[in-house]
Structure 1
Amino acid sequence: MNPIPHTAAGLRVVEARDADEHAANLTNWEQCYDQTTCGTFHGLLEEIQLPGMQVFRESTSQGMRQSCCVWPDAMWFGLPFSADITRINGRTAAPHSVLVRPGHQEFELVTPADYTIFGLVVRQDTLRSAAQALGFDVDWSRLQAAEILHPSAAALKQCLHTLSALLQPDHGVPADPAHAQTHALEALLPLLDTGVVDAGVRDSFSRRQRIVAAARDYLLAHHDQSVTVPDLCEQLHVSRRTLQYCFEDVLGMTPVQTLRILRLNGARRDLRGNPSATVRDVAADWNFWHFSQFASDYRKLFGYSPSATPRTGLH
């Protein structure tokens, strides 16, 4: 993955009608989105690039499970603009929290329907230089390990106001992009200077995360087979009750719901990426043998039939 270009660009606005298409629109991110709620998908991305920073606002109409990774030597900060909770790596982030992850490390977000989040990706050297120049004392080691920050309400409100102004269609990037970047950093740094970092993840929660990740990996590796909840329990050496609790705690969904959503999203992804494949072949490859039920479930989740899936030839 290449670093974000160090040149200014104007406001970039991109709409998408497919979750994977939308995931690919965010510049220099590696992402994979699974839709989790039922209905037609609509995504909107508004993005600007500054000398050492990317600023964006992302809106999604449906619930998503997102696997994300930002460019190396950077830090990502997510500011949810929603009254509903967000899950980051399985941890629940209440409204008015700030999410944070270093670059080149994969992380998972679970977001609800009708969701908007502001995001900043900042080169680490840019962030450190700005903190030193502006007199902010940041605990960099704690920040690197953090997932959730709890800033003051005033600092968060000011930062959201600044980012929203930068992303206004009639505003765009000022003639001097360095000036715009300074404004953004001046709004961001108070969140890091005064924010309270959540305590580290408990060992018990880490175990639940590992169980969910192992279950998902097993399903995807055996997607052409009939994988059931008892199969997962046997493979992972856990009881059904434990598996249920792990999934509900980490993803907010049951194992049965998750298996179905992963398989339907996998089928959609293969239909989009393989124009020559038939719908029946893809359904069978994801272990959907009752074709009418597959078509019904697919339409319910994505808002269109399998045969109406755009065949782009791109994953």
Structure 2
Amino acid sequence: MAADAPIAGKTHQIRTIQAFDADEHAHNLTDWEQSYDQITPGHFHGCLTELQLPQMQVFREDTSQAVHQSCCVWPDTFWFGLPVQTGQTRINGRLVGPHSIMVRPGHCEFELQTPSDYVIYGIVMRQDNLQHAAERGGCLIDWAKLAQAEVMQVAPHPHQRLLQRLAGLLQQNGPYTDPAWRQQLLLNALLALLDTSKVDPAVSNSFQRRQRIVAKARDLVLSQHDETLTVPELCERLFVSRRTLQYCFEDVLGMSPMQYLRLVRLNTARRRLRQSNTQPVSVQDVATDLGFWHVSQFSCDYRKLFGQTPSQSRQMH
């Protein structure tokens, strides 16, 4: 994907779109590669408000349920994420503290885990434009360190000012109308924040090892489309004890391996059922393919998580 493809030729209009499925919501953000799994039980409601400016993308994302997100933005950019309330936000397993922003370079997959009733503002900025603006403004930024960062601690005042700028820019009848002026206001606030920020120290070797174990487990689970893995099988393939696997998942994802496997299977079932208009499939076939041998129990677990039956999911899409 070309670096300027997502931004060139836009009309700079604010776009708001709602969704009632986590994975459908994930695909509403322009030019991102994303996949969302719903974690907490209940009906999902997501709202995305997005604005494309000449050199950046700005958005606000609201989600009613906790979700696990796999995300990747286009190359040669930086993404900055500003949660309104950090709560139990995790980026690549790391908890995000108050007055923090998250940052990742483009074309680099990362994972987020966000709590219920969550609001986050996002900025995607071309790397070269951000560097040029920093040079013109005399901001001293360690770009190599920024590219490796996941979490940055920032001063409360510039953090709050940037949040206010973002909220104002995304109002349909807000005070800022000229695209270039909008972008300059936001860029000034972002650079002021970066100029006073401090990159969180690198995680310990032990936490990095736990991250790797969880990442390998996730890759195994997602790659085995025709095989339903159990916790003992994961331990065997990863060469770790059950206790080690339990500790890794609780530390990185805040849940047990058993909970994780169940959530992945239920979210996979939902995707297949919602695709059944183009690829006809029965509820029983989906359940048994994913290792739910008792269809009635599968339906009960499904309804508890998503607030509707498997059959309703098929009919609504």
| Structure 1 length-normalised TM | 0.95
Distance 1:25 1:77 in 2: 18
> Is 1:50 aligned to residue 58 of structure 2?
no
Match of 2:80 in 1: 77
> Is 1:133 aligned to residue 136 of structure 2?
yes
Cα displacement (A) at 1:223 = 4.7
Match of 1:285 in 2: 289
Match of 1:192 in 2: 194
Distance 1:248 1:147 in 2: 20
Contact 1:274–1:311, Cα closer than 8 Å, also in 2: no
Amino acid at match of 2:165: T
Cα displacement (A) at 1:78 = 0.1
Distance 2:74 2:299 in 1: 38
Match of 2:99 in 1: 96
Which string of whole-angstrom CA distances, capped at 9 and with x for unpartnered residues, describes residues 115-145 of structure 1?
0000000011111111112221111111011
Matches within 5 A, 1:145-294: 145-171=148-174, 174=177, 176-275=178-277, 276-294=280-298
3-state SS, counterpart of residue 44 of structure 1: strand
Match of 2:303 in 1: 299
Contact 1:63–1:113, Cα closer than 8 Å, also in 2: yes
Distance 1:149 1:20 in 2: 28
Q: 1:188 to 1:123 in 2, by over 3 A?
A: same
3-state SS, counterpart of residue 12 of structure 2: coil
Contact 2:86–2:96, Cα closer than 8 Å, also in 1: no
Cα displacement (A) at 1:96 = 1.9
Match of 1:65 in 2: 68
Contact 1:10–1:173, Cα closer than 8 Å, also in 2: no
Deviation beyond 4 Å, 4+ runs, structure 1: 310-313
Contact 2:93–2:211, Cα closer than 8 Å, also in 1: yes
Contact 1:298–1:304, Cα closer than 8 Å, also in 2: yes
Percent of aligned positions that are identical: 57
Contact 2:79–2:104, Cα closer than 8 Å, also in 1: yes
Distance 1:277 1:95 in 2: 46
Q: CA RMSD in A?
A: 1.5
Contact 1:224–1:284, Cα closer than 8 Å, also in 2: no
Distance 1:312 1:95 in 2: 39
Which string of whole-angstrom CA distances, capped at 9 and with x for unpartnered residues, describes residues 259-313 of structure 1?
1000000111111123211111111111111000000000100111101115688
**Structure 2: stretches of 5+ with no match in the other structure:** none
**Structure 1: stretches of 5+ with no match in the other structure:** none
Distance 2:80 2:23 in 1: 22
Cα displacement (A) at 1:170 = 1.6
Contact 2:92–2:112, Cα closer than 8 Å, also in 1: yes
